[in-house]
Structure 1
């Protein structure tokens, strides 16, 4: 009879397999799974896109239709009826550059929250690294974000905007902060939603309120006039979504022609850091949120099959 140790040795990975990153079934690379399992991640992204547009006549055109209708409603209600456009040059660019931010935030956050519970048959019946589900949801949201970004760029160009290094840096900073922060929240709520389905309804409320708690529809100067000098003013400016929206305004609106250039810059707690404002605070909050969300997700993933 062979020794138990010899049997284990027979199934142990060789040196070459270890060098190639060999892992036993059921083991994964934790937060590195989206990088190491790129093929599976791509399959999940294709699956989500096919399921979402199955039986749809317009398909990806909905990526244009939904934000267009949203923009028209807000522009007429706020820009025309409430006359917010009178004090904001190129208000259409200002408005849409904020709308694309909250739309991306809402889709990544909502889809990531439902990614585990929505893929219950896969999670409970076969082994797949759980991190792939929220990450595939983020990539699907980015696929829908690209058409909106193209519309924003074309609209800004019509108002005289020209790409610059400042615009590019502001855009990249905004995207990094937004995606890191939202994925941290999404990983956290995905783990909680596997056990408590009320979480996804709570997330829907957050997404709805987020549009109004960041300077998407109005100028931040209006907020300063109302609550400036109070702790609420500080908290408002430290909201990562406020920081990202302001970065998108810097990227696509603030330098959109001589008319907008003449408008004084919106206030921030770090005016010497203009035109990027509180980007460092937003990045710090985003990284901390991402670490917390990842840790909670990693500790909860072994219970997903039982909870579902």
Structure 2
């Protein structure tokens, strides 16, 4: 006769990101809370999702497009610039907020147990909610200058978004966990966010990096953000060019066939490592906080 004893499990242990899917309702509540708290007392509220990227775009366009005359060498430079800015903004907001997510929710973590991964993942969803209005502006601007993308290009946009979301989640889990023990992590992330806009072809063309880096260019191209930004350029900017303008530009070779899978694998590797570190450190979050 078999005994009916229950198996014991370690308190606070879980299945990592799988628990996030199992607790989708809690995730939804956290996302709503994050949005309400962020815009509490704000006059514009969610409209800041439109104002901030537009102001950022105007500064870069005037400084680089007009003063440095980059718009002369890059047709439809405004579309080129903004298509990169919206994607980088999604990544920087995701990483910055997820790094602080555990520390900022210390009161909740001390009181009850729930999957700790919910906190950084919820900030990714909030960042995605801010990303969508920016994409709407990008689509509207692209349509004004003759945007006619193919279905293949639109699918590539979805793939680029997924790559950046995975990368942001992985790094958010990593730095969010480390930040509980070493608050200097926020300063490290701030420096990363300062560099990321310049570490991918947002403000300049990828050929400039290729010519400057030479044999080291493959490392630049293996950066998932570089690949994702170039996919956005290919999908939003390239279809707005006329036949004469297309001859003035050069797209990266094997962007979809080679570099997209490489970017996806690198992002998944970062996610795996971030989840591994997070699970090891999460056991003592409540004590450390």
TM-score, length-normalised on structure 1?
A: 0.88
Partner of 2:99: 113
Alignment of 1:270-285 (within 5 A): 271=253, 273-274=254-255, 278-285=259-266
Question: How far has the Cα of 1:145 moved from its partner?
Answer: 0.4
Q: Match for residue 301 of structure 1? A: 282
Deviates further, 103-112 or 161-170: 161-170
- 5+ unaligned residues in a row in structure 1: which ranges? 14-22
Q: Take 1:102 and 1:67, find their aligned partners in 2: how far apart are those partners?
A: 10
Asked if 1:98 corresponds to 2:84, the answer is: yes
Q: Distance in 1 between matches of 2:248 and 2:19?
A: 46
- The whole-number CA distance in structure 2 between the counterparts of 1:236 and 1:38 is 36
Contact 2:99 2:186 in 1 (8 A): yes
Summarize the Cα distance change of 1:219–1:133 in structure 2 as closer, same or farther, 3 Å threshold. same
Mapping of 1:193-204 within 5 angstroms? Answer: 193-204=179-190
Report if aligned partners of 1:85, 1:91 keep a CA contact under 8 Å in 2. Answer: yes
Deviations 1:148-204, CA, capped at 9 Å, x for gaps: 000011111111111312211220221111111111111011110010000011101
- Give the match's secondary structure for 2:239: coil
Query: What 5-or-longer segments of structure 2 have no aligned partner?
Result: none
Aligned residue for 1:16?
Answer: none
Whole-Å separation in 2 of the counterparts to 1:108 and 1:274: 25
SS of 1:29's equivalent in the other structure is coil
What RMSD, in angstroms, separates the aligned Cα atoms of the two structures?
A: 2.0
> Number of residue pairs matched?
286
CA distance in 2, matches of 1:276, 1:172: 16
Q: Compute the displacement of 1:266 (Å).
A: 2.8
Change in Cα spacing, 1:263 to 1:275, as seen in structure 2 (3 Å) is farther
Query: How far did 1:246 drift?
Result: 0.5
Task: Name the residue aligned to 1:18.
Answer: none
Q: Please tell me whether residue 236 in structure 1 is matched to residue 220 in structure 2.
A: yes
1:198-257 deviation per Cα after TM superposition (whole angstroms, max 9, x unaligned): 0011101101111011100011111222222x22x2211111111111011111111224
Assess if the C-alpha contact under 8 Å between 2:98 and 2:123 holds in 1: yes
Does the 8 A contact of 1:250 with 1:276 survive in 2? no
When normalised by structure 2's length, the TM-score is 0.93
Aligned residue in 2 for 1:45: 31
